[in-house]
Amino acid sequence: MIKAGDPGFAFDDFDENAIATTFHTTGTTGDPKQVFFSHRQLVLHTLAAATTIANQPVGQNVTRRDVYMPMTPMFHVHAWGMPFIATMLGMKQVYPGRYDPATLLALKRNEGVTYSYCVPTILRMVVDAAKANAWDVGPWTMMIGGSALPEALAQEAEEVGIIALSGYGMSETGPVVTLARSQPEDTVGVRCRAGFPLPLVEVAIDQARGGELTLRAPWLTQGYSQQHASDALWDGGRLHTGDIAEIDADGAVRIVDRLKDVIKTGGEWVSSIELEALLTAEPGVAEAAVVGIPDARWGERPIAFVVRAAGPTVSEEALREAVVARALTGAISRYAVPDAIHFCDALPRTSVGKVDKKALKETAHPSALFAGA
């Protein structure tokens, strides 16, 4: 197609504020909404993201000599902005098609891939495949987004040669607004935080809204196709992310939970992300998701869904004991102990690989699955 094109084609000039892209949010916790971005916004995001990624510590950065391979659908949020960066820098680009772990590992080996990004589910698949074949797949840096990066998974990835670091963003932010980084003396958990703001990004915590993370940056979507939703998104002149967050002493953002996912039980807030990380760290657990279901007495109660890892079978009793032990030390609230732990073959996913918590809440009907739990 490129060879058939006219290299002398004269492109019409147009206003940089003209709309360049439009797509819908994934609707993980709510209804999908249409967002849009201008050409100017895409350029600004590309420059800010490229500047940040290029200046990451060695082993977490990108140069024009790196080989880039995406592992998320290209239709979702500009493929996280990386195709623009890779093209601007003149990097070699490898496009895998379907995200089969054997195919991904073969392309990594044969094409010399050094930089990728994906959701934790895909990282889990790649790590498991590498471990099953006893392969050291490094050097390979992966930016992880879409949902929280469990510290246990980041540690497993490092053991097979993958340096995984969190990035944070959403459909409304184009997407990247923060990126984690670590130094040799840091623990792996440092790379599991949402990270530090990109240039031109301003972050703040709105305590009046339960600790919600709010943003300002020149490339954030101006709104949705529905005016009332746009007004709520930009209430007070800042974009409201819907995520509860904290800012650590070094300036890094740490996501506590989604406002719609946090479980309000017995007068306390329970973080589903914290519970999921605790469960995932237990031997025999590959993935975990926690949702809140209505409860007449407590308002909501946490229910856990767990996918077992290969090897010795982990029991509900063992997982419950692990959570209770953390509660007894005060590490988590006693209200956070799940009412039930449901084992399943796989967690439901959206089109971009995120855990579909709406589907889990519909499944987690106490009378249907957990009677007598």
> If you search the block for the tokens 């990624």, which residue do you land on?
53
Out of 156, 172, 274, 300, pick the active-site residue.
172
> If you search the block for the tokens 């790649």, which residue do you land on?
126
Out of 158, 269, 298, 361, pick the active-site residue.
269
Q: What is the DSSP letter of 207?
A: G
Cα separation, 334 vs 307, in Å, equals: 23
Residue 6 buriedness (CB in 10 A; 0-12 / 13-18 / 19+): exposed
What is the end-to-end Cα distance of the chain in Å, rounded? 60
Q: Tell me the three state secondary structure of residue 239.
A: strand
- To the query of whether residue 221 is one of the catalytic residues in this protein, the response is no
Q: In this structure, what are the phi and psi dihedrals at residue 269, rounded to the nearest 5 degrees?
A: -100, 130
What is the torsion angle, in degrees rounded to the nearest 10, for the CA atoms of residue 36, residue 209, residue 31 and residue 254?
Answer: 70
Q: Tell me the three state secondary structure of residue 308.
A: strand
Cα separation, 111 vs 96, in Å, equals: 11
- To the query of whether residue 25 is one of the catalytic residues in this protein, the response is yes
- To the query of whether residue 92 is one of the catalytic residues in this protein, the response is no
| Most distant pair of Cα atoms in the chain: their distance | 73
Out of 92, 264, 358, 361, pick the active-site residue.
264
E strand residue ranges, the chain: 19-24, 34-38, 67-70, 92-93, 115-118, 140-144, 162-169, 176-179, 196-197, 202-206, 212-216, 239-247, 253-258, 263-265, 268-270, 285-295, 299-308, 340-343
CB 59 within 8 A of CB 53: no
Using left for φ > 0, alpha for ψ between -120 and 50, and beta otherwise, residue 31 falls in: beta
Active site members: 25, 172, 264, 269
